[in-house]
Amino acid sequence: RIHVTGTWRLPVFTKDTNAIEFDLSPKMRDLDVKILEPKLTNTSVSLKSEDRGGDTHWILRTSVPIRSGQSVVLQFSYTSETQPSPQFNISPEGSFAGGGGELWYPQTSFSNRETGWLRYSVPPGEIVISNGTIQSPPAQQAKGEFVFRVDQPSKFGFASGKYSVLRQSGKTPFALYLLHPTAQAQEILAGCSRALKVLTNLFGTFPYRQFSVVEVDFRSSVAGTGEFGFILADKSQIEGKFNLAYWAHELGHQWWGNLVRSKPKTGGRMMLSEGIAQFGSLLATERVEGERAAERFRREGLYSRDQSAAGFF
């Protein structure tokens, strides 16, 4: 099970209101919410919910209005004990939540990106991967306590399990988190590094200081999700033959769909995420495969060093 507690600072209201509305997955049970700020006196608070086509829409009402311009801070807690879904699973074998899947934390809008602190407590021996930069020292991590600071607006996601870690240094350091040994590990690291170089030249500076590829078991048709600063990759992609197009597509989401997105309900908005991520995947695959062919031709002496390999690109 997962037990969630937290505080949430909402955007300042532009007009007086006595209703705070937000959404949360129906899998999150026993929700309790309190208003920490502003300090309301002589007021009563009620919490009601309604189904909104899958997620639960919550309305927190106060008998005394919250004035415009006031800062609002909520304290919340809830628990989930449930069967896994494509982008949410809590189990001894490995747990994860995708930021674009289940609403595992309260949100005023699915399109919102947040900043803040994420603190995870897991069984000792497990490793947590999440957004932002890790703040907890190794001794604290060994106890199962992981703290992340998220400065860049993100949709929060995480994975936790008994991972082994392979790392690759470079301009953007890479880490590969494995639940099971695989003969494809080095090829994944090298291939992703090459693809990232092509995509950076194509789309601009990589949005994060480091990047991680994390093995999970989606137990569905989902093959991978591009989270903010890491990829959740299904074990089939880790164990199977290396598929550069797949990895380059998920890497492309670090720019398209994550960093850059369209307004909600905009026509053709999928072209700005899935479409351009796939466009980058095609170019990266062509370039990397061309470089591999050129290297092979050099080794086999099929053309001299002063000849151009541009035809392969």
Edge to edge, the sheet with strand 29-37 lists 2-10, 72-80, 29-37
Q: pLDDT (tens digit, 0 to 9) for every residue of the chain, 313 residues total?
A: 999 999 999 988 889 999 999 999 999 999 999 999 998 877 888 999 998 778 899 999 999 899 999 889 999 999 998 777 888 999 888 899 988 778 999 998 877 899 999 999 999 999 999 999 999 999 999 999 999 999 999 999 999 999 999 998 888 888 999 999 999 999 999 889 889 989 999 999 998 888 999 999 988 888 899 999 999 999 999 988 889 999 999 999 999 888 887 777 777 777 778 888 888 888 888 888 777 666 766 767 665 544 443 333 2
Give the integer Cα–Cα distance in Å for 140 and 147.
9
Beta-strand pair 55-66/127-130: unpaired
Residues in the chain: 313
pLDDT at 301: 67
Give the integer Cα–Cα distance in Å for 181 and 88.
23
Does residue 138 have a cis bond before it (omega within 30 degrees)?
no
Write b or e for each residue in 29-46: b if 16 or more Cβ atoms lie within 10 A of its Cβ, otherwise e: eebebebeeeeeeeeeee
Give the integer Cα–Cα distance in Å for 227 and 159.
11
Structure tokens at 241: 């033959």
pLDDT at 308: 40
pLDDT at 297: 66
pLDDT at 150: 96
pLDDT at 302: 60
Give the integer Cα–Cα distance in Å for 31 and 37.
19
pLDDT at 311: 35
Give the integer Cα–Cα distance in Å for 236 and 246.
12
Give the integer Cα–Cα distance in Å for 96 and 222.
13
CB atoms within 10 A of CB 110: 11
Q: Are 159 and 214 in contact (CB under 8 A)?
A: yes
Within 13 A of 129's CA, how many CA atoms are on the CB side?
Answer: 32
H or E element, residue 116: strand 114-121
Whether pTM exceeds 0.75: yes
Give the integer Cα–Cα distance in Å for 76 and 51.
20
Q: What is the CA radius of gyration of the chain?
A: 22
Write b or e for each residue in 286-295: b if 16 or more Cβ atoms lie within 10 A of its Cβ, otherwise e: ebbeebeebe
